[in-house]
Structure 1
Amino acid sequence: MAVLAILLFISIFLLILYGYPVAFTLGGISILYAFCFIDSGAYISLAPRVMGVVSNYVLLAVPLFIYMGIMLEKSGLAERLLETMALLFGRLKGGLAISVVLVGALLAASTGIVGATVITMGLISLPTMLKRGYSPELATGTIAASGTLGQIIPPSVVLVLLGSVLNVPVGDLFAAALLPGLLLVLVYIGYILVLARIKPEVAPGMPEEELRAFRSKGFGRQIIQAFLMPMLLIVAVLGSIFAGVASPTEAAAVGALGATLLTALQKRLSLETLRAVMQETTHLTSMVFIILLGATVFSFVFRELGGDAYLVGLIEQAELSPMAFLALVMLAVFVAGFFIDFIEIVFIIVPVVAPIFASLGIDLVWIGVLLGLNLQTSFLSPPFGFALFYLKGVAPAGVTTQHLYRGIAPFVGVQLLFLAVVIFFPEVIYWLWR
């Protein structure tokens, strides 16, 4: 029976690589294995599990955060942030790239939607960076890496899903991930500053005349207008969670309302905008929940076939230490990110390893943060990194796929080093949480 569980896992993985839809492959193949190899008396337990997912109050945060992110994309807030931040850091070599990183962090803390952030920053800042003499590699690498900060900086849809799969409070996961996410921003900035110092030609400063023109036109007022509204939204969402005033789901509802009001204040809210936001939110939410239901069926069948017990036995026989098993899982997740999306990884790999981590006595909140950092690389890693696809779709004609791959490689390396730091110094995540 345990061999069948492993065959189930391999079958699903291969079919997804072949191009079959993830949602229907997960559920369909699992049900096929269940009919063929599981006693019919066990089926009675499946329906309550599926209904438990559908009625899970925490997961209501997913469509609300998605709505908030897409609505903010329509508000034009990102455009104003980028323009203001670029001129604030314009004198500094690499200042434009640093502004992209900081705006990426602010958008991550406001929205948590990676695709919208990458596309928005690619459309607005990539042509400007190239025009200012930035190398295509540094420009594309900075935008792609900054756009994926929404994977780890709360509120993050990825963290909501990980909290559900790992069965840990989403609020705890948000609190634990905040400091590592902010430190990662500083690491990105440090890399840019060092590179600009070593190779100043790849990251020049902005012309002095442009900076003077900017500062002569209501400098303080522009800064306040650009930063006040997104900061209010961030405080409303994250502050209410960390203060214990609201649950993540309630805070997501506050964020969705706040994003709508901000768009209205920017005079960009219309019936057409509202319709487009709702359609995209419905599409993304439906995709996530169909995959989640398929993953629920998969994890049920995998356990009924004895897959989890078999893996625990293998680890005990191999006498793997908890850290050795953690390293093995992190490597598997990183490699899987080259080929499949983060949602598939969350719902295929994580349910298999989560019980093993629990049996080894490892803190699942810490595991959630490590997985979030690792899953961020799935959006960056060639050849199938989704952030690279998003950016290539909006990049000017002169920017090639080779530019994207060469540009993102150093950021992936920096992120892996940072992941190692969080693994060996877990107190980083507990500073704000406990």
Structure 2
Amino acid sequence: MTDPQVAVFMLGSFIIIIMLGFPIAFTLMAMAVGFGYYAYFDAARQWRLYDRLLENVDASTFDLVREWFQGFFNNRIFDLLVNQTYGVMSNDVLTAVPLFLFMGYIVERANIVDRLFGTLQIAARRIPGSMAVAALITCALFATATGIVGAVVTLMGLLAYPAMLNARYRISFASGVICAGGTLGILIPPSIMLIVYAATSNVSIVRLYAGALLPGMLLAGLYVVYVVGRAILNPQVAPKPPKDLTQDVSVGQVVWMIITSFLPLAVLIFSVLGAILFGLATPSEAAAVGALGGLVLAVAYRALTWDRLRESVYLSVRTSAMVCWLFVGSWTFASVFSYLGGEQLVSEFVTGLDLTPLQFLILAQIIIFLLGWPLEWSEIIIIFVPIFLPLLGVFDIDPLFFGILVALNLQTSFLTPPMAMSAYYLKGIAPPHVRLAEIFAGCMPFLAMVFITMFILYVFPNIVFWLPGLVYGK
């Protein structure tokens, strides 16, 4: 086998092994070390030493034997693994990940979200589908704060889902609202996924945040428009709230509820995001302030306990370690794959297809869409997206635009059967009578909203480029 063929075999073996359920980070590292040992092994040097051993039997024989054995252990793959580990652990961009995670986990455990949902439920009580609208807005804010899809879907499934079912909302409709709203944190800044993409692609994180803001608001807006429109056209899917919720509440009471529940979390999120976008702080500095702000909110709501703090720290460290070791394995794997000629082989194959830039974008998004069924977003961004990045220059595609499309595309991986993880998260905490097929059916209209948003960005790419160009220039 030639080296490029070995690289293709390496990639295919990795996909098969992870399908069998092996841990992805350690599978990456093990395969990178194994195939890297082959790639960097200097067989010619070992044969030369062996020939010298046969020719010389004298006082220097011991040194030759020692040098021959050292040739099996002085392989450059071990240096590469150590260097990649150091590079990941000292990456300034990735420092923001545990801090943003801690902010989200502490907000999740401080009972802030249930206050927020209750307030929005009352404030939007006269809007058709008001509980669904309140759930979507709450999901958007909470997903923005935490960035962990499973956490948002699970918490909102425990909080808002029973309330909608008790209000006689159609099961599929309520399920789609929770599943779709829970994925918004992948796209809307300050998204952890965008931080990981920035570290992978060397695109400025502040430009990514600025570029993702309008598409994220567009997608969330389409969700709300769909919910309100569906409730108007078919009131049976989202009946009016019960009388105890529509009772007269003074404007002053509503304003006070918003000030004490919605405003603090919104100010925290937009302060962190504004500090990043306007260059007042680096993402890591803004994330540190956000983590401190989450603690302050938890103290203000009298919800900070030692157990909650300890659990938030533990979950933040565990998730951060997973992301960092994925980076170590992925970067080592990618280095070996490229050294063997796999990257050049993929590039030659794609360029040989004679695709237009639009056709390449569509092909890449279809592949990422399919990868989203068996894999998490972190694995797709860290492992497979780097395969496409060298090709962007060939087709004159801005990696900023590509990253936003990938973030949008990854929304679909959580909503598309049969591996729609949002649906499985919700099914895990839903009442027994809720069937998985009903949850899948509820996700389909919101999946269509994602595709509509992607189509709009294809037609009007300035939606992505306008804000970064306005704030930072071209």
Measured against the shorter chain, the TM-score band is: over 0.9
Q: Match for 2:105 among 66, 70, 74?
A: 70
Aligned counterpart, 1:128: 163
Aligned counterpart, 1:149: 184
Residue 189 in structure 1 maps to residue 189 in structure 2: no
Distance 1:365 1:216, change over 3 A: closer
**SS across alignment from 1:218:** helix
CA distance in 1, matches of 2:418, 2:105: 26
**CA distances 1:176-229 after superposition (whole Å, capped 9, x unpaired):** 101100110111011112221222101111134422254488232112112221
CA distance in 2, matches of 1:271, 1:417: 45
Aligned counterpart, 1:7: 9
CA distance in 2, matches of 1:65, 1:381: 27
Residue 357 in structure 1 maps to residue 392 in structure 2: yes
Q: Is the 8 A contact 1:23 1:290 kept in 2?
A: yes
Once the 2 structures are TM-superposed, how far is the Cα of residue 107 of structure 1 from its aligned partner? 1.6
Q: Quick one: which amino acid aligns to residue 326 of structure 2?
A: I
Aligned counterpart, 2:269: 234
Unaligned 5+ residue runs, structure 2? 43-74, 470-474
CA distance in 2, matches of 1:137, 1:418: 22
Aligned counterpart, 2:56: none
The 10-residue stretch of structure 1 (43-52 or 107-116) with the greater mean CA deviation from structure 2: 43-52
Once the 2 structures are TM-superposed, how far is the Cα of residue 324 of structure 1 from its aligned partner? 1.3
CA distance in 1, matches of 2:320, 2:85: 17
Q: Quick one: which amino acid aligns to residue 114 of structure 1?
A: V
CA distance in 2, matches of 1:39, 1:370: 40
Once the 2 structures are TM-superposed, how far is the Cα of residue 106 of structure 1 from its aligned partner? 1.5
CA distance in 1, matches of 2:251, 2:217: 32
Once the 2 structures are TM-superposed, how far is the Cα of residue 240 of structure 1 from its aligned partner? 0.5
Residue 410 in structure 1 maps to residue 445 in structure 2: yes
The 10-residue stretch of structure 1 (217-226 or 164-173) with the greater mean CA deviation from structure 2: 217-226
Distance 1:209 1:281, change over 3 A: closer
Equivalent residue runs for 1:261-410 within 5 Å? 261-410=296-445
Once the 2 structures are TM-superposed, how far is the Cα of residue 344 of structure 1 from its aligned partner? 1.2
**CA distances 1:45-67 after superposition (whole Å, capped 9, x unpaired):** 55433321221011011111111
Aligned counterpart, 2:131: 96
CA distance in 1, matches of 2:248, 2:160: 19
Q: Quick one: which amino acid aligns to residue 89 of structure 2?
A: V
CA distance in 2, matches of 1:329, 1:59: 25
CA distance in 2, matches of 1:8, 1:405: 35
Q: Is the 8 A contact 2:129 2:239 kept in 1?
A: yes
Once the 2 structures are TM-superposed, how far is the Cα of residue 327 of structure 1 from its aligned partner? 0.9
Unaligned 5+ residue runs, structure 1? none
CA distance in 2, matches of 1:128, 1:353: 44
Once the 2 structures are TM-superposed, how far is the Cα of residue 158 of structure 1 from its aligned partner? 0.5
**SS across alignment from 1:154:** coil
Q: Is the 8 A contact 1:91 1:208 kept in 2?
A: no
Aligned counterpart, 2:39: 37
Structure 1 stretches of 4+ moved >6 Å: none
**SS across alignment from 2:180:** helix
CA distance in 2, matches of 1:39, 1:421: 50
CA distance in 2, matches of 1:427, 1:216: 40
Q: Quick one: which amino acid aligns to residue 281 of structure 2?
A: A
Residue 51 in structure 1 maps to residue 60 in structure 2: no
Once the 2 structures are TM-superposed, how far is the Cα of residue 386 of structure 1 from its aligned partner? 2.4
The 10-residue stretch of structure 1 (384-393 or 168-177) with the greater mean CA deviation from structure 2: 384-393
Once the 2 structures are TM-superposed, how far is the Cα of residue 93 of structure 1 from its aligned partner? 2.2
CA distance in 1, matches of 2:245, 2:286: 40
**SS across alignment from 2:417:** coil
Once the 2 structures are TM-superposed, how far is the Cα of residue 407 of structure 1 from its aligned partner? 0.9
Aligned counterpart, 2:64: none
CA distance in 2, matches of 1:149, 1:216: 30
**CA distances 1:365-410 after superposition (whole Å, capped 9, x unpaired):** 1111111111122222222232222211221222111111111122
Q: Match for 1:17 among 10, 16, 19?
A: 19
Once the 2 structures are TM-superposed, how far is the Cα of residue 110 of structure 1 from its aligned partner? 2.6
Q: Match for 2:257 among 219, 222, 229?
A: 222
Q: Is the 8 A contact 2:39 2:339 kept in 1?
A: no
Once the 2 structures are TM-superposed, how far is the Cα of residue 10 of structure 1 from its aligned partner? 1.3
Q: Is the 8 A contact 2:189 2:212 kept in 1?
A: yes
Aligned counterpart, 1:85: 120
TM-score by length of 2: 0.88
**CA distances 1:246-267 after superposition (whole Å, capped 9, x unpaired):** 0111111111110011011110
Residue 425 in structure 1 maps to residue 427 in structure 2: no
Q: Is the 8 A contact 2:145 2:190 kept in 1?
A: yes
Q: Quick one: which amino acid aligns to residue 156 of structure 1?
A: S
Q: How large is the RMSD of aligned CA atoms in angstroms?
A: 1.6
**How many residue pairs end up in the alignment?**
434
CA distance in 1, matches of 2:258, 2:104: 22
Once the 2 structures are TM-superposed, how far is the Cα of residue 340 of structure 1 from its aligned partner? 1.3
CA distance in 2, matches of 1:92, 1:216: 16
